[in-house]
């Protein structure tokens, strides 16, 4: 897997990879991560992937991280 770009963002760490005909968009916050796989044929190069990362997308990603953290904390309290 080849790193194509580190995309600056104040809310999450974003890394764009290329592998096997796909772009892999990896977003990280603390000990959680989200991965999005995008066929290279669906976008116009790495700039096309970067164009997908708008404020609405980042807001949804951050909200999903909050939900992920809450779910994990809850299961740790119940079962940890």
Helix (H) or strand (E) holding 18: strand 13-19
The ranges of the chain with pLDDT < 50 are none
What pLDDT is stored for residue 80 in this prediction?
A: 80
What pLDDT is stored for residue 73 in this prediction?
A: 97
**Rounded distance between C-alpha atoms, residue 45 and residue 36, angstroms:** 15
What pLDDT is stored for residue 36 in this prediction?
A: 98
What pLDDT is stored for residue 64 in this prediction?
A: 99
**Rounded distance between C-alpha atoms, residue 68 and residue 42, angstroms:** 28
Q: Where are the domains of the chain?
A: 2-79
């Amino acid at each position: 897997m080849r790193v194509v770009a580190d995309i600056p963002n104040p809310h999450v760490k974003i890394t764009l990879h290329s592998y096997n005909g796909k772009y892999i968009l990896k977003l990280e916050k603390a000990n959680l991560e989200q991965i999005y796989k995008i066929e290279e044929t669906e976008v116009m190069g790495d700039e096309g992937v970067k164009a997908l990362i708008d404020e609405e997308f980042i807001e949804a990603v951050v909200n999903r991280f909050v939900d992920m953290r809450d779910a994990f904390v809850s299961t740790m309290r119940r079962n940890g």
